[in-house]
Amino acid sequence: MDMINHEQRVDIDVHDMRLLEAIQDGLPLVPRPYAELAQQLGMGEREVTARLSLLQMKGVIKRFGVVVRHHELGYRANAMVVWDIPDQQVETIGALFGAFPFVTLCYRRPRRLPVWPYNLFTMIHGRDRDEVLLRVRELVAACGLDGVTYDVLFSRRRFKQRGAHYGIGARDGDPRSQRFGIS
């Protein structure tokens, strides 16, 4: 019950889960944040930092540190830019895209023909729409993608935004979901 087994999964135990839950809104801003978490979770301070270190090594935590808010820092425009990249090239192009500093997500997803021909998804932030479009042209030029079909889906209204609920926190009959910050 402690292990989550699935093809892409790695072993995370309930203590890791509780730790991830405890830091979902960030470290407490106190001189010894890990000691405070440790007390809250009934672990040792060293155990908390060791688990966080291990979760990073295992790749469960992709990045541990400051998470900024783009919008508040002046990046008012964002678009999901979707690309129809030939299957044999998608790996290479995906890796190239993922390295540009203004690309903040880069995923391969399935096409759903005939309604949805795109297989590579990027998120691009800019101060305004023009800057986002400039970045898109930069990607096309830098990666030699002339002739590739893409579409730019600017975001308009935000109806909901919060950390993900995975509903894996249920324990002792507690149906409460756990939230994680995935960006």
Report in angstroms how near the CB of residue 79 gets to other proteins at its nearest.
Answer: 8
For other proteins, the closer CB: 5 or 146: 5
**Cβ-contact 122, 97 below 8 angstroms:** yes
Report in angstroms how near the CB of residue 106 gets to other proteins at its nearest.
Answer: 4
Of 182, 177, 181, which Cα lies nearest the Cα of 165?
A: 177
For other proteins, the closer CB: 30 or 141: 30
Report in angstroms how near the CB of residue 41 gets to other proteins at its nearest.
Answer: 15
Chain position carrying tokens 């691009």: 124
Of 180, 177, 179, which Cα lies nearest the Cα of 167?
A: 177
Chain position carrying tokens 């997803």: 109
Report in angstroms how near the CB of residue 173 gets to other proteins at its nearest.
Answer: 15
Chain position carrying tokens 């949805």: 116
For other proteins, the closer CB: 142 or 153: 153
Q: Extract the tokens encoding 108.
A: 């391969």
For other proteins, the closer CB: 107 or 144: 107
d(CA 177, CA 180): 10
For other proteins, the closer CB: 74 or 144: 74
Determine the distance from the C-alpha atom of residue 128 to the mean position of all C-alpha atoms in its chain, rounded to a whole number.
Answer: 22
SS3 173: coil
Report in angstroms how near the CB of residue 8 gets to other proteins at its nearest.
Answer: 6
